[in-house]
Structure 1
Amino acid sequence: MSNKISDTQVSGPAKFGTFGGVFTPCTLTILGVIMFLRFGQVVGQSGIINAVLIVLAAKAITTLTTLSLSAIATNTRVKGGGAYYLISRSLGVEFGGAIGILFFAAQAISVAMYIIGFTEAFAVTFPQWADEFTAIASLVNVGVFLCVYVGAGWTIKVQYFILAILVAAIGSFYVGAIQDFNPDYLRANLSPHYLGGENWFTMFALFFPAVTGIMAGANMSGDLANPSKSIPTGTLLAIAVTAVVYLSQVFLLGSARSPDELTANNMVIRDIALWPIAITAGVFAATLSSALGSMMGAPRILQAFARDEIFRSLRFFGAGSGLTNEPRRATVLTFAIAQVCIVLGDLNAIAPIITMFFMITYGLLNLATFYEAVTKNPSYRPTFRYSHWMTSLAGTLGCLGVMFLVNWIWATVSILFIAGLHWFIRSREIESRWGDLQSGVIFERARKALLKLEVEAYHPKNWRPIIMALSGTGWTRSHIPIYGHWLTSGHGMLTLAQVVSGDIEDHAERRDRYEKVLRNFIAKEQLEAFPAVTCNAILSDGIEALIQCSGIGGLRPNTVLMGWPRDQSRAEAFGANIRLIARMNRSILAMRFLSHRGDDSDDHSDVDEHWKVPAGTIDVWWRGMENGALMMLLAHLLHQNPGWRDNPIRLLRVVENEEAEQEVRKHLIELGASSRITIVPEVIVSSRSPAQVIAEASRSAAIVLLGFQTPDEGNEMELYQRMEWMAGDLPRVLFVDSAGGMALES
């Protein structure tokens, strides 16, 4: 993704501090419409004890999430986008993209929820306007939109005034509730009084949006002077203050009115207050401030999301306006979404949906922090010290559990929606420009697995092909890496290796160039392989270095795959090399393909040809367990590839007289049964030379596997001539010299 639009903030007016930029918007968003219009219903139906548990459970989740938020916010340079920015930079572009859409939608829909709450209060206060509900809500939406469209600086100043009204309203309620204290109401409200279809979890779902304002400050991250300091301090302080307000309101509401009145009267707080007009003003102020906070936050999420160009069609919304980089295009879209929800929705229907959206966002934020901590990534060095991987994990599980307890259908739909977005973004193979912790997670898993593998006792049952293929550049002998891929795909590991002739001091750049060529070959042919290149003046020294230094722990190569000499002049060097490999206790596979015999020039034309699976059988010529066990396993691994499924494995053996035929056939059948490999046994009775028998029996085979023994020094030419005689004119032969370590019966 190209970064066409800079996310660097343009210098301008002074940015906001902790109180104005975080504490005030968080507090005003938390103490909003639910507190004034629905909290009485929560207390009336749930009872005081359960209402306290609802508040504590909700606050526990938001507190754990804030600890995670604070850890990530103090571990990186926070730019615009709030939770989207933090999650995308930790969990990667797929989760970031999915949560960007979901969190923006949650914030945009929240605008409608708060405006609907304001309009409900307005209709109760001025009944003559009750029939114009949608029109009034739409006008308020326009007003909130215009206020935010002007700029965040103006909106923050408005919020100071709203905060003062809110404090006066809460104070008025406290005085009135204390005066109306009734012990009979207190006793009656201790136990729950749920209406039909309602329970603790539905009340939790109704209340939870009242605590979701913790992201209001983080959403303003791009407009904060010191986000890494302001976000933790301001958010935690807002949580603490609002927790005291809610818990005290539980007892005051339960002591001042009967359960029926608390449940039925949406404006019960106004009726309790000493100065009802203050509550009316407070409702108007709180709902408007919450709407303003969401109207400010949602566009900034969309702006940051659009600038990352995960979906290029959204780039239009990444533009900023003025010195303060206001996201005015995104603000218009937020207004439009809120207006649609105002026309279609109601407060009780919207609240549970927003609960799910926020729960997923909080859960992923906790998950991001958990992974950052548990992977022990050296770059994870938060200055906030009160977050631990256990608190992050508890926050993740808490969010997930509450989602399903509240409404398992909506929870499932939300998770499937996130999974679908994740899959869609992943399928587009979008590469992020930022570092995320996915590689750190993979590294930590690999590290632990390697350490565990190191202390586990080895058993032949667990033998897997870890093949080092001496493939050159890959292009020149493409049959070697392709067959190496077939032999290891899904079962083992493949390394494509090349020895560059020369001194490392003189050819360092050349080595890097050859490694890049190998990487390009691996990527183009979609191989599951790793490249390895070394510089050595002598080929055998390079092979020895590769074998000794490649791999780690239990993942060192146990098999070397190489080409068979093209002509007799290379036989002695080949014999010396395989003798070196055998001394290092590695199995040897040598491929003899007649189609590859020719010049040494680079030729890409044969790559596609070698991917074509030849017709015929996979012939294993059995001469005993010494090489036979590995030959059988290699034939089985080759047959496991989808393209080779129609190539049956034949297990062949030559006997000189018919009396031995039945016994040998029985032995071959038992071999297939004990190894659990499907074979076609074939015993050939013949007194002719092995070369003649093999040439005739395997002339239509797709590939032939023949065993050999590494020659002693001085016998290299004899080995070459004998195996050439055995292979004859067969087009594809794999010579095998096993170092052991596997067992067919395991």
Structure 2
Amino acid sequence: MAKNKNRGYGFGTTPVFLASISTILGAILFLRFGYAVSNAGLIGTILLVLIAHLITIPSALAISEIATNMRVEGGGEYYIISRSFGKIIGGSIGISLYFARAISVAFYMVAFADAFRPINQYLMTKSGIWIDLRIISLLFFGLITWIQLWKGANMGVNILWGVFLILIASIILFLFGKALPGTVPVPLTFKIKGADPMFKVFAIIFPAFTGMAAGVGLSGDLKKPERSIPIGILSATITGMFIYILVAIKLHSSAPMSLLASDPLVMSKIALWGPIIPLGLAAATISSAISSSIVAPRILQALGNDNVLPGKKINRFFAKGKGKVNEPVNATAFTVLLVILFILPGSLDFIAQLITMFFIITYGILCWISFLEHMAANPSFRPVFHTKWYISLIGGIMSIIVIFQIQPIYATLAILLMFIIYRLILYSHKDENELSTLSQGLIFQITRWLKIISQRNSKKLKPYGWRPSVIAVSKDTFERISIVDLLRWISYRHGFGTLVHFIQGMLNKETAEKAVEIKGELVKLVEKGGAGIYVDTIVSPSKKSAVAQIVQLSGVSGLDNNTLLLEFPKEDPSKIDDVIDAAKFALSVRFNILILRSSSRHFGYKSRMDIWITDKKYRNSNLLILLAYIIKGHPDWREAQINIFVAFPESEIDENVTNLKKIIESGRLPISFKNIRPVSFNPQKQTIESVVEEYSETSDLVIIGFNSANLDNMKGEMVKYNKLNDLLFVSANENILII
């Protein structure tokens, strides 16, 4: 075959079909399908075949879809997964897939030796000689190894032609065989006495259907993988399904149930020419071994090329190839040692169940990738071949169900091993730990729909369902972080916070680049502090114009913004003018206004919070109490005591305290009545400022309401309270209820 410089051997569609169908029609078909029919009945067996294909067909469709959307290189399933989920996740799955493929070679070789059991029995009868079947496995595996190391994949594919013809001949001769003496018609649901449970039967026969993706492993050697992969694996999967159903029907009608259960080679007694069945078994297992032995080293080579394995030397070693087609010599040599290690014990059951777990997990991952690609609606995802999202979803869900139905312990071990491998790769590739395009697209779609749904339902929101959606605007974010801390406390669980860093100036290339740079620093700042808030920047000539733009923007969370948070330092009252001018724009859109007067004490020990209620109309009371409750919910303030001071002239104090207790009780807020502190004062002799200072001088945060209608007069009020530290002025411009 002509060699393509960029596409290895430049295979067409036929090798993909041959590799897949030769692996699907494997040892289970010839050795254990009679057992399935006798233990599950004909209807039960067909049902199990269909259940299995609820995984394999969606997987075949998913592989086809993803493969026709990208330029598929060497590594097959590994390439598809890693280029969709990233090399960290893809690498962990690729390593486990490599071991599954490599160990499956041992499985096929041990099963291959069973084809020589009749010869062994003949030799034992005639001469008393019994050949250890493991020797046969090792000898034929040596032959396969020689083919791979010295002749390459091209020779392996040529052999696939021969074994495929034997497979077809054995199946045809079996299907045209005659019923055995003593065969009587039985109901379609008939089972032998003491039959095994359905899912135990399923666990034994499912490895028969795991060969679907064998042809994908040739991706690096295909001339047109975007065409060959869909046609090859889909045709092999559907062909295999019909062959298994036909074989089940023939077994049910051609042999007694007791013989199906006891004789693994019962097919040889039904076939027109009996010896063709052991030959077919040998052909099936040797072809499956060839397919996996071609694929496994290429997966390992692809892992080395992507530098996924630990250590540069190890990656270079396995990435090394031979000749113009880059034959994976080192990867093949390592695979040989691994296969021999698993051939020597000769235990089929353990190997079969273990590799089945890895294969089903791989199929499930592929289905989930296809499903997520549909959900993400990435415009770059434009496959030539299309499937439906719900088909991939069915395959993904069925994969999860089936692995735990087959063997919960092996399923748990397989998933745990994959997680450990993932963590090891992540540890050695810390710089590559980023969201892939797929994840970003999915998050985008979820956010988009949530925002749309939230906006459509916004008119239905009631005053008692209020939650804070706060925009904090500051020019001095990095110099004074009090505003950042207050924002993260308010938005911890019950609300959403957006921090906007104001950059003064005109928007141009220089300021735009500065904004991008500062935004990156903001992300690091809030990430380091564990703050769950959104950050952004804005370039504007003045703070006033910046706020005018910001309050018109829709909320990032899908919830409309409803509160503006501004800040100025206690030590520099000259900044109050900018704050008040900016706050006026919040009134235009009926925003609640929070103005923090920060101090060098930086909220002290966060052990005491004082609320002062002085307005007879209780215009701000609900918001004051809710904010205190929300802030206390943050771990930083969890041990804090909330004091509610009700300050009125003596003649009005009892009535106002009673009203306040009703608000707290109806709202089921975790505030003890003993913390409600009535404070009566004589307005003729005392100012409210002096009263607040007297009681709250040592408080870590004092919250006071103000009337936004008097915003122009607030500058004089904000410079008062000299004895207090961090002080939050609050004006509620929404109807907020506590019930």
TM-score of the superposed pair, with normalisation by structure 1: 0.88
Q: Encode CA deviations 1:259-291: one digit per residue, 9 max, x unaligned.
A: 222222222223333444433332222211111
1:187–1:351 distance in 2 versus 1, CA, 3 Å: farther
* Counterpart for residue 223 of structure 1: 221
Q: Aligned ranges for residues 526-545 of structure 1 at < 5 Å?
A: 526-545=530-549
* Counterpart for residue 559 of structure 2: 555
Q: Aligned ranges for residues 581-596 of structure 1 at < 5 Å?
A: 581-595=586-600
CA contact (8 A) 2:8 2:221 kept: no
Q: Aligned ranges for residues 384-395 of structure 1 at < 5 Å?
A: 384-385=385-386, 387-395=387-395
Q: Aligned ranges for residues 158-169 of structure 1 at < 5 Å?
A: 158-169=159-170
- How far is the alpha carbon of 1:490 from its aligned partner? 2.5
- How far is the alpha carbon of 1:18 from its aligned partner? 0.5
Unaligned runs of 5+ in 1: 1-8, 597-609
How many pairs align?
A: 713
2:577 corresponds to which of 560, 564, 572: 572
* Counterpart for residue 133 of structure 1: 133
| Structure-2 separation of matches of 1:590 and 1:548 | 19
CA contact (8 A) 2:567 2:579 kept: no
| Structure-2 separation of matches of 1:111 and 1:221 | 19
Q: Encode CA deviations 1:475-502: one digit per residue, 9 max, x unaligned.
A: 1221111221111122222222133222
- How far is the alpha carbon of 1:92 from its aligned partner? 4.8
| Structure-1 separation of matches of 2:278 and 2:180 | 24
* Equivalent residue letter for 1:516: G
* Counterpart for residue 359 of structure 2: 358
TM-score of the superposed pair, with normalisation by structure 2: 0.89
Is 1:17 aligned to 2:12, yes or no? yes
- How far is the alpha carbon of 1:591 from its aligned partner? 1.4
* Counterpart for residue 341 of structure 2: 340
1:634–1:421 distance in 2 versus 1, CA, 3 Å: farther
Partner SS for 1:437: helix
* Equivalent residue letter for 1:641: H
- How far is the alpha carbon of 1:411 from its aligned partner? 4.2
* Counterpart for residue 600 of structure 1: none
* Counterpart for residue 491 of structure 1: 494
* Counterpart for residue 240 of structure 1: 238
Is 1:99 aligned to 2:125, yes or no? no
Alignment RMSD (CA, Å)? 3.0
1:504 corresponds to which of 504, 507, 515: 507
* Equivalent residue letter for 2:464: K
- How far is the alpha carbon of 1:699 from its aligned partner? 1.7
* Counterpart for residue 481 of structure 2: 478
- How far is the alpha carbon of 1:521 from its aligned partner? 2.8
1:24–1:432 distance in 2 versus 1, CA, 3 Å: farther
CA contact (8 A) 1:708 1:735 kept: yes
1:574–1:403 distance in 2 versus 1, CA, 3 Å: closer
Partner SS for 1:325: coil
Q: Encode CA deviations 1:640-676: one digit per residue, 9 max, x unaligned.
A: 111211111111122443x655544444433322222
* Equivalent residue letter for 1:622: I
1:553–1:420 distance in 2 versus 1, CA, 3 Å: closer
1:623 corresponds to which of 614, 619, 622: 614
- How far is the alpha carbon of 1:310 from its aligned partner? 4.8
* Counterpart for residue 256 of structure 2: 258
Is 1:673 aligned to 2:665, yes or no? yes
1:256–1:644 distance in 2 versus 1, CA, 3 Å: same
Partner SS for 2:552: helix
Q: Aligned ranges for residues 643-722 of structure 1 at < 5 Å?
A: 643-657=636-650, 662-679=654-671, 680-687=675-682, 688-710=686-708, 712=710, 716=712, 718-722=713-717
| Structure-2 separation of matches of 1:331 and 1:739 | 73
* Counterpart for residue 464 of structure 1: 467
2:629 corresponds to which of 626, 636, 639: 636
Is 1:76 aligned to 2:70, yes or no? yes
Is 1:64 aligned to 2:54, yes or no? no
Q: Encode CA deviations 1:162-197: one digit per residue, 9 max, x unaligned.
A: 22333333344344x1xx235962614844434646
| Structure-2 separation of matches of 1:332 and 1:700 | 75
* Equivalent residue letter for 2:614: R
| Structure-2 separation of matches of 1:49 and 1:463 | 58
Q: Encode CA deviations 1:571-629: one digit per residue, 9 max, x unaligned.
A: 43332222222222111211112318xxxxxxxxxxxxx5x862431111112431222
1:190–1:530 distance in 2 versus 1, CA, 3 Å: closer
1:13–1:630 distance in 2 versus 1, CA, 3 Å: closer
- How far is the alpha carbon of 1:341 from its aligned partner? 2.9
Partner SS for 1:535: strand
Is 1:202 aligned to 2:200, yes or no? yes
Unaligned runs of 5+ in 2: 124-128
CA contact (8 A) 2:503 2:538 kept: yes
Q: Aligned ranges for residues 358-377 of structure 1 at < 5 Å?
A: 358-377=359-378
| Structure-2 separation of matches of 1:528 and 1:742 | 24
* Counterpart for residue 614 of structure 1: 605
| Structure-1 separation of matches of 2:309 and 2:208 | 32
Q: Encode CA deviations 1:367-401: one digit per residue, 9 max, x unaligned.
A: 2212212333322222113x111221222233333
CA contact (8 A) 1:93 1:430 kept: no
- How far is the alpha carbon of 1:415 from its aligned partner? 4.8
1:696–1:50 distance in 2 versus 1, CA, 3 Å: same
| Structure-2 separation of matches of 1:189 and 1:342 | 41
Is 1:451 aligned to 2:452, yes or no? yes
Is 1:284 aligned to 2:282, yes or no? yes
- How far is the alpha carbon of 1:414 from its aligned partner? 4.4
Percent of pairs with identical residues: 32
1:490–1:82 distance in 2 versus 1, CA, 3 Å: farther
| Structure-2 separation of matches of 1:480 and 1:92 | 37
Q: Tell which deviates more after alignment, 294-303 or 439-448.
A: 294-303
* Equivalent residue letter for 2:145: F
| Structure-2 separation of matches of 1:290 and 1:29 | 4
1:56–1:358 distance in 2 versus 1, CA, 3 Å: same
| Structure-1 separation of matches of 2:415 and 2:477 | 43
CA contact (8 A) 1:306 1:312 kept: no
